[in-house]
């Protein structure tokens, strides 16, 4: 192949000499452009010949390498084409591995996997910080423990604990507050009414009706809690 490239370059030189300064070669292409194209083609042939010689020296190993790169390229194309479906599968797997984390579902829904103790614990972003909540339809509002509220910089005065709330653990007194945002996966609600329980009254935050009623729906299917965005 190297000799073929050299022969081609020699042929181009001969053609340029024989044109003797004519305006075009065969009435089709100008000599300068012809020389540029021929030179590029000749160099390409020589470079290809060099690679081919090296490739053919260990053709088995090189073919295996080409096959590996072809498979990687195919995987990239398939992954890009089915990226939405793969994202859903990945979210579902992560939800199973980390109960409480939001697994994205169709239509912007969020699925939470039940924990081994039988409870649904939901990881939510409250005012930009992660908080863990127990899913509690019996709670009339989102309720933060005094300790978790303090971690968010919320410390109601003692006189503010005047509201009697109903929870799955029974009645408790809490201080009303307004949260800037509560987000679970792609679902985010602004200015959410909430409560802060008295110190020691609750062991965990409660995801109650002041957030749940803003959703278009929620349901429990087996060991899955499905939240539908507004």
- The average pLDDT across 33-47 equals 64
- Read off the pLDDT of residues 139-185 as tens digits, 9 standing for 90 and up: 889 999 999 999 999 999 989 999 887 655 667 789 999 999 999 98
- Cα distances (Å, whole numbers) of residue 211 to 6, 106, 146, 149: 78, 21, 19, 17
Q: Chain centroid to CA 29: how far?
A: 53
pLDDT at 129: 94
C-alpha–C-alpha distance, residues 226 and 138, integer Å: 17
**CA dist., res. 65 & res. 145, Å (int):** 58
Q: Is the pLDDT of residue 2 over 70?
A: no
Q: The pTM is what?
A: 0.57
Look up the CATH superfamily of 99-228: Acid Proteases (2.40.70.10)
In the predicted model, is pLDDT for residue 28 greater than 60?
Answer: no
State the average pLDDT for the chain.
75
Residue 17 Cα distances to 11, 32, 144, angstroms = 10, 12, 90
- Whole-number pLDDT of residue 151: 93
Tokens 């965005």 label which residue? 229
């Amino acid at each position: 192949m190297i000799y073929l490239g050299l022969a081609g370059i020699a042929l181009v030189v001969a053609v340029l000499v024989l044109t003797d300064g004519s305006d075009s070669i065969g009435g089709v292409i100008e000599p300068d452009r012809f020389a540029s194209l021929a030179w590029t083609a000749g160099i390409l042939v020589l470079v290809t010949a060099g690679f081919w010689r090296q490739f053919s020296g260990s053709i088995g190993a090189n073919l295996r390498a080409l096959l590996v790169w072809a498979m990687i390229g195919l995987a990239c194309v398939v992954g890009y084409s089915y990226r939405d479906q793969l994202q859903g599968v990945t979210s579902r797997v992560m939800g199973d591995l980390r109960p409480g984390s939001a697994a994205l579902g169709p239509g912007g829904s969020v699925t939470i996997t039940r924990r081994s103790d039988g409870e649904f614990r939901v990881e939510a972003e409250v005012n930009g910080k992660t908080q863990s909540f127990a899913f509690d339809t019996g709670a009339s509002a989102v309720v933060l423990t005094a300790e978790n509220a303090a971690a968010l910089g919320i410390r109601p005065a003692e006189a503010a604990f005047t509201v009697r709330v109903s929870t799955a653990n029974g009645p408790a007194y809490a201080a009303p507050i307004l949260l800037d945002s509560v987000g679970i996966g792609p679902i985010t609600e602004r200015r959410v009414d909430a409560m802060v329980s008295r110190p020691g009254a609750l062991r965990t935050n409660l995801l109650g009706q002041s957030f749940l009623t803003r959703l278009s729906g929620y349901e429990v299917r087996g060991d899955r809690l499905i939240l539908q965005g507004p």
